[in-house]
Chains A and B, each alone.
Chain A
Amino acid sequence: QQQVKQSPQSLIVQKGGISIINCAYENTAFDYFPWYQQFPGKGPALLIAIRPDVSEKKEGRFTISFNKSAKQFSLHIMDSQPGDSATYFCAATTSGSRLTFGEGTQLTVNP
């Protein structure tokens, strides 16, 4: 049973467009929600993270929106670039314990 559900499985966006990836969770004990970016042959790299007391966090072109009542959060990539093409994972954890990942989204940004 996937505790963190992620969609879409794959996403194709034109350069300059907005990429949106959504995640939903069940466990209300989760208190930290990071997003990771993974390139082939590399480990997941932390992009941005949010805690449930904040509804939105922005870092450069990356924004997390968090809806605590709906138990959903999403990643928005503004002005998407071909270099953003990678697999993106949302994750959730309780007090810094094990990360529970979503299934991943393979993003392709066409030039």
Chain B
Amino acid sequence: AAGVIQSPRHLIKEKRETATLKCYPIPRHDTVYWYQQGPGQDPQFLISFYEKMQSDKGSIPDRFSAQQFSDYHSELNMSSLELGDSALYFCASSRGHSDQPQHFGDGTRLSIL
């Protein structure tokens, strides 16, 4: 079965640079969620989109922005990167906005030097 595809898998940036993470949801899934997971920590919700509209916003820094496109893929844009942004970034998708399980991709590991 098709899964959530994230790219790139690994990304190395320097402080103050920008990064773009991409997420391709499972086919026919219209809802995308972004989570950040620090080392040894649980995933923390950043932001979600349903039918290309932002549906919820969590602890996402103002330096980050995201959007969902007409083909339902989503991109997380990160600017003025800081050392503390080093983490795993996961995207999850679901069909519909309620009562459906979220399925996760394998994440992008972002390292800030």
A-side residues, CB < 8 A to B, are: 32, 34, 36, 41-46, 49, 89, 95-104
Contact = CB atoms under 8 A, between A and B. Distances in A.
12 contacts: A42-B107, A43-B106, A43-B107, A44-B90, A46-B103, A46-B104, A96-B31, A96-B97, A96-B99, A97-B48, A97-B55, A104-B42
A104 B39 CA distance: 12
Given A98-B45, A99-B45, A100-B45, A44 B104 contact: yes
B93 to A, nearest CB: 11
A83 B94 CA distance: 27
Nearest to A90: B42
The 5 tightest CB contacts between A and B, nearest first, are A43-B104, A101-B42, A96-B98, A98-B45, A95-B98
A44 B97 contact: no
Label chain A's interface by main secondary structure.
loop
Chain B contact residues: helix, strand, loop or mixed: loop
B42 to A, nearest CB: 4
Contacts, number: 62
A43 B59 CA distance: 20
B61 to A, nearest CB: 16
Q: Counting chain B CB atoms within 10 Å of each CB, which of A32, A89, A98 scores highest?
A: A98
B31 to A, nearest CB: 8
B33 A99 contact: yes
Contacts of B44: 101
Nearest to B33: A98
B43 interface: yes
A41 B106 contact: yes
Contacts of A36: 104
A25 to B, nearest CB: 14
Interface string B81-113: 000000000101010111111111111000000
B99 A32 contact: yes
Given A98-B58, A99-B33, A44 B43 contact: yes
Contacts of A104: 40-42
